[in-house]
Structure 1
Amino acid sequence: NWQTIDNPAADGWTIEARASLAKKALDQLGAVLFNADKDGDESIDVALTNAFAPNSQISHIVLSTSPSVYTDSQFEVARLTTDPEPELARPREALRELSDLWATCTDVRFEFKVFRASDDDGTLATQQLVAVSGRRNGQPVEQHASWTIRWDESTSQRPKIQQLTVTKLEQTTLAAPSPLFVDKTDAVLGKDSAYRDQLLYGLNYWLERNQDMRYFSPLGNPGLAIGDVNGDGLDDLYLCQEANLPNRLFLQQPDGTARDAAAEWRVDWLDGSRSALLVDLDNDGDQDLVVAVLGGLVIASNVGDHFEVQDVLSTHDDTTSLTAADFDLDGDLDLYICVDYPNDFFASTREVPVQGGAANRIYHDANNAGKNALYRNDHKDGKLHFTDVTHEVGLDENNRRYSWASCWDDFDNDGDQDLYVSNDFGRNNLYVNDGGTFHDAAAEVNGEDSASGMSATWGDADGDGWMDLYISNMFSSAGGRITFQPEFKEDADEAIRQRLQRFARGNTLLLNHAGADNAIRHFDDVSVAAGVHVGRWAWSSNFVDINNDGWQDLVVANGYITTDDTGDL
């Protein structure tokens, strides 16, 4: 079982084994401190006895008098002003403040993530993220903190905290008693049989029943598109599905519900579908449909009451996502398709039943994937026609990476659309558009962000008129610990070790700035300073102004498969 396999002590990783015990001690401490059912004095006594060493010290740990750094009609944000050399005291009073604070809350949840562990002259030192959330007087409140801890391991039972220093603490309170967003899926789709008989069963159910498993990944990553397909002024939803499950087209009704009309609109295709766009391809004023299936792009024209397939463009098999932009400024939308694994990879091996390892792939700099493609829109006389111009326009440069998503915007403010491609297992691409031809300038402008790229989004984060980039990668506390330990890649070059360490850091915010001559643009990585790198196991993200204050906020979709066994992702 996994408990036997996951045994760092048996493998000689002593720091990791010690950090594992420290994490258990923190979880036990949290269960005491953030438990409203326990008496305050009892909680403090238990915490001091079980979690803190004699003569231990702790810095200020709560936001009792910290001023708000941001307030509007929806949010109040407060931050602790930290001192490089904070005053340390005995822990009882600080723990009492923390326990009393959360004792007034309901629905309290907490989590510790130990993301760094080291041996400092025989003393275990750890860095951890602390997240606590709940409802105070009916209002949602959450705190995010960073703690640095030195541990006393003199007892054989468990490590105890010798010194705890808070290096960061932020609290956000929502003014309204209701959450910002409410799940309305059942209210909108619940009366439709497509929802009840197909979608509600979930991916695991269909995994056991689908015989077409070549690219049937348990990640469950088909996409969707939103647009007004019937011209009634209401947005509709096209939902991609895995192979042998019909895609769905939900038409929005005046009462806010939606009904599936995929069959009558002739788009209930059974091909495994990964991504879709509802866009006007022929400039006739309605929304046409493009769907990336495994091995192709289905081009369907909107004829008023249904879609008619006009072409199926050939692509490499493992399509992932699809974007549209007018790259050549001829007035119509062109199509760019991203591809992950090389053709027939899953058909040629029985060793890897899911999207995981690939033969001869260099984990931190892979260049043996499928090929992305750019299709130029050459529609004429009402007929849709597309031409593969990938090689012709320069987009075949560095085009064998494991691509998950792309996004278009005018990076250099020269009037045309540039293209950023987010790649798993290594470097990303920034294809700068120069009059309809491209070159990959990512390395030149510090834009490669070599990591596990899942998506990217453009937005003017600092309001200077130049588009910045936010890239979804993966934050891993385990990776942050392990890759910095002496046993990790002992024989590897330090540059390689650093690139692998970067994979665990998380998401990236790149600000678009001018160079010394004010002409050559470059990116500055401000992810950690801006506090936006911990997007957890991130997939997709978007800049969006949530509170209508004129500044671009970030929404990050994250998570992974959840099972009853906490040792299994």
Structure 2
Amino acid sequence: MSARALIGCSVACASLFAAQEIPTKRLQPASPHATAGVTYRDVTNLAGLSSFKHVSGTPEKNYIIEATGSGVALWDFDNDGLVDIYLVNGSTIDRLQRGDPAPAAALFRNNGNGTFTDVTIERGVANERWGQGVCVGDFDNDGFEDLFVTNFGKNRLYRNDGGRRFTDIAETAHVADDSWSTGCAFGDYDGDGWLDLFVAGYVSLDLKHLPPPANPEAAGPANTSSEPNRASPESGSRMGASYSPGASRCTYRSERVMCGPRGLKGAPDHLYRNNRDGTFTDVSGEAGVADRNGLYGFGVAWFDMDDDGRLDLFVANDSGPNYLYRNLGSGRFEDVSYPSGAALDAQGREQAHMGVAVGDYDNDGRDDLHVTNFANDFNVLYHNDDGRSFSDVTAPLGLTLPTMPFLGWGTDFVDYDNDGWLDLLVVNGHVYPAADRLAWNTSYAQRALLFRNLAGKRFEDLGAAAGEVLATPRASRGSAVGDIDNDGGIDIVINNLDDRPTLARNDGGAKGGHWLTIALKGDPARRCPRDAIGSVVFVTAGGVRRRAEVASGRGQMSQSDLRVHFGLGAETTVPNLQVRWANGPTVTYKMDRIDAIVTIDQASGAVTKGTTR
């Protein structure tokens, strides 16, 4: 579709916007294309996760740090074959100004019977800083996944000491940047078999010189304005409130709200190269990914956009163009954001980007990108055309109008019914509490969206068919997907702002179609990281070749299960399974089982049932 056609579509979208659903008031009926017997059920309480409650500032959300929320990680920290859960927590301005510890994050160990045990303190991963994002990767190739937590303040790198205890080595590893970091992801960009680390920066926010608050009664000496009656100019309803120095207030649609991010100074991004000795070196400048424009980074994704065997890098930027860096293979990257078409939408507009999902939604063999955006705008699906260029296909695939009333955060491609086509999850929630009392055609708490993929041609909101757990409005932020109970159905965990988390169990997914889940064990001697991050698995069944990458980070500051999952639909055999090992060759393996979890070991070539490390 041409840019002109899409501009015309945007006019139509604007005229139809008033007819769209208000997220808390109306739920679309169950999609006629929903797979019978497959839905999601809320098992948060049954699983024992309700002891955790996220904390983030005051109910008024006076400052932008109070609204961004936190991520969640699904990972097997103790190598028992069961997916555990790590929930990042926030804090309050008062705590920070007093120097008090922040509320603790939570590590829940999977008991294997549908319940979890909080082992945060005994494992040593409470964080107790204003947490933002999380990603995992085995940076020291010892066979145990390590944990990186981004903060408003110093970041933490928790080294996994045999699954029994974690040690924060961020300072000695030189990755404890004292800033406001958000998304992160491990990836071996230089092909030496050791995971490097990229960390996005958001806003350089000084607690001693805060911008004006949303509630004027919260203003103190740090918020005083030289021009008490001047408001910052508005950015329009598609982005948050802008700030200009000296202004006494910031407004969004004429309502006084918190300021930013526009007008505030951006925090830098960082690429850390793994020195193979437990330390990292910041190579952002020499590698060409230093965020010279000072944008507001959120979601981060390593992926091989052109299938040249080298990891490329995507950064979703809030209130600005995205970054897409092509890996040149010499330790440097080329900024292809604009020529690739991934910087802006089809109309050439900057958007307020949040989370990013990567996946081959149309099974054409190339990874596509989905990026969430602010309310009164639509999320964007970028189709990977040829490995070098991307097209905004949001409108023709039916994703424009259904997403406009929502403010999107976490997003994941997930084959919820195992039919062999990647469906699309988006979790939502506004940043301005005023949305509940003003005629903005939206709400503060919002339901999640689960779109069923109709054979790569169109996406359809499942509505009530997704289950009450996803239909319940919340102020959601980070989300992650993975098979919590190893039954073949992909489950969802959501970290909700100022609330309990959500564990949405997939009931019936294993009956919707056949499936195969694969864990990879790389061989560092062959320059593949031990956890095989960056490797790509190709499964051919029924004449369709599907792909999935072992990936760190992604979503909205979150981490999904490192195991790759394939829905197979009605197919009962896998004639061809190939692994393109990170920094190595593509190897074909015999697969004589389906509806199973298997581990493939690069060093031995063994294919075994279950997850082994």
TM-score interval for Structure 1 and Structure 2 normalised by the shorter chain = 0.5 to 0.7
1:207 is the counterpart of 2:102:
no
CA distance in 1, matches of 2:156, 2:66: 24
* Alignment of 1:341 onto 2:193: no
Q: What letter corresponds to residue 398 of structure 2 in structure 1? A: G
Counterpart pick for 1:186 among 15, 25, 45: 45
Alpha-carbon distance change, 273 to 359 in structure 1, aligned in 2, over 3 angstroms:
same
> Which TM-score applies when normalising by structure 1?
0.58
- 1:557 aligns with 427
Letter aligned with residue 73 of structure 2 = A
- Cα pair 1:398 1:440 within 8 Å, conserved: no
For the structure 1 residues 564 and 321, does the alpha-carbon distance in structure 2 shift closer, same or farther, using more than 3 Å as the test? closer
Q: List aligned pairs for 1:3-82, cutoff 5 A.
A: none
Shift of 1:474: 2.4
After superposition, the C-alpha distances for 1:454-498 in whole angstroms (9 at most, x for unaligned) are 01122112222122111111241xxxxxxxxxxxxxxxxxxxxxx
Shift of 1:409: 0.5
Structure 2 letter corresponding to 1:439: E
Distance 1:289 1:254, change over 3 A: same
- Out of 244, 250, 268, the residue aligned to residue 371 of structure 1 is 268
The 8 Å contact of residues 266 and 307 in structure 1, kept in 2 or not, is answered as yes
Q: Which structure: larger Rg?
A: 1
How many Å separate the matches in 2 of 1:342 and 1:564?
A: 26
List aligned pairs for 1:361-510, cutoff 5 A.
368-380=265-277, 384-435=278-329, 436-449=331-344, 450-476=350-376, 504=377, 506-510=378-382
> Aligned in 2, Cα 1:253/1:541: closer, same or farther, shift over 3 Å?
same
- Give the corresponding residue for 2:390: 523
Q: 1:410 to 1:220 in 2, by over 3 A?
A: closer
Measure the CA separation in 2 of the matches of 1:275 and 1:363: 19
Structure 2 CA distance, aligned partners of 1:524 and 1:363? 29
* Structure-2 separation of matches of 1:525 and 1:563: 32
Distance between the aligned counterparts of 2:44 and 2:21, measured in 1?
28
Inter-partner Cα distance in structure 1 for 2:303 and 2:435: 42
What letter is aligned with 1:371? P
Query: Per-residue CA shift, 1:401-442, capped at 9, x if unaligned?
Result: 011111111111111011111011111110111013112111
Cα distance change, pair 247–216 in 1 and its aligned pair in 2 (3 A): farther
Q: Distance in 1 between matches of 2:292 and 2:263?
A: 10
Q: Does 1:218 align with 2:66?
A: yes
Q: Distance in 2 between matches of 1:425 and 1:564?
A: 19
SS in 1 for 2:82: coil
Taking structure 1 as reference, are residues 308 and 357 closer, same or farther at Cα in structure 2, changes over 3 Å only?
Answer: same
Distance 1:530 1:474 in 2: 19
Change (3 A) 1:229 1:529: same
Q: CA deviation at 1:220?
A: 5.3
Contact 1:203 1:220 in 2 (8 A): no
Match of 2:29 in 1: 142
- AA at the equivalent of 2:380: T
**What CA distance in whole angstroms lies between the structure 2 residues aligned with 1:410 and 1:431?**
11
Provide the identity percentage: 28
Contact between 1:316 and 1:339, CA under 8 Å: does it hold in 2? no
In the alignment, the residues of structure 1 paired with residue 291 and residue 105 of structure 2 have an alpha-carbon distance, to the nearest angstrom, of: 34
> Contact (CA 8 Å) 1:216, 1:242: kept in 2 or not?
no
> What's the CA shift for 1:452?
0.5
State whether residues 397 and 439 of structure 1, in contact with CA within 8 Å, keep that contact through their aligned partners in structure 2: no
- Name the residue aligned to 2:122: 264
The residue that corresponds to 1:38 in the other structure is none
Structure 1 Cα separation of the partners of residues 71 and 332 of structure 2: 29
How has the CA–CA distance of structure 1 residues 413 and 283 changed in structure 2, closer, same or farther, with 3 Å as cutoff?
same
The answer to whether the 8 Å contact 1:364/1:451 transfers is no
**Cα drift, residue 215 of structure 1:** 7.2
For residue 120 of structure 2, give the secondary structure of its aligned residue in structure 1. coil
By how many angstroms is 1:130 displaced? 4.7
Asked if residue 229 in structure 1 is aligned to residue 229 in structure 2, the reply is: no
> Do the aligned residues in 1 keep the contact of 2:243 with 2:260 (CA within 8 Å)?
no
Q: 1:547: which partner in 2?
A: 417
**Paired residues of 1:189 and 1:259 also in contact (CA < 8 A):** yes
* Structure 2 length-normalised TM: 0.54
1:316·1:371 contact (CA, 8 Å) conserved in 2?
no
2-structure distance, mates of 1:367, 1:432: 28
**Matching residue within 325, 331, 334 for 2:187:** 325
Q: Cα distance 1:336–1:358, how it changes in 2: closer, same or farther (>3 A)? A: farther
Amino acid at match of 1:566: R
| Residue pairs, 1:60-139, within 5 angstroms | 116-117=14-15, 128-130=18-20
Partner SS, residue 70 of structure 2: coil
Q: Match of 2:170?
A: 311
* Letter aligned with residue 379 of structure 2: N
How many positions carry a matched residue from both structures? 366
Q: CA RMSD in A?
A: 3.3
Does residue 357 (structure 1) correspond to residue 242 (structure 2)? The answer is yes
Name the CA distance, whole Å, in 2 between partners of 1:547 and 1:408.
26
CA distance in 2, matches of 1:540, 1:558: 7
Cα 1:208–1:448 change in 2 (3 A) is closer
1:336 shift after superposition:
0.9
SS in 2 for 1:464: coil
Report the equivalent of 1:172: 32
What's the CA shift string for 1:99-142, capped at 9, x where partnerless?
xxxxxxxxxxxxxxx9534xxxxxxxx66545599xxxxxx972
State how far apart, in whole Å, the 2-side matches of 1:228 and 1:368 are.
37
Cα deviation per residue 1:68-113 (whole Å; 9 max; x = unaligned)? xxxxxxxxxxxxxxxxxxxxxxxxxxxxxxxxxxxxxxxxxxxxxx
Helix, strand or coil at the partner of 1:217 = helix
Question: Does the aligned pair in 1 maintain the 2:170–2:176 contact within 8 Å?
Answer: no
How far apart are residue 397 of structure 1 and its match?
4.7
Higher relative contact order, structure no. (Cα contacts within 8 Å, ≥ 6 residues apart):
2
Secondary structure of the residue aligned to 1:392 is helix
Residue 385 of structure 1 aligns with an amino acid whose one-letter code is T
Query: Alpha-carbon deviation of 1:549?
Result: 2.1
Q: Does 1:512 align with 2:403?
A: no
CA distance 1:173–1:141, change in 2 (3 Å): farther
From the superposition, tell whether residues 333 and 127 of structure 1 become closer, same or farther in structure 2 (CA, over 3 Å). closer
Residues in 1 aligned to 2:320 and 2:42: alpha-carbon distance in whole angstroms: 35
1:376–1:399 distance in 2 versus 1, CA, 3 Å = farther
Partner of residue 273, structure 1: 131
Deviation at 1:214, TM superposition (A): 10
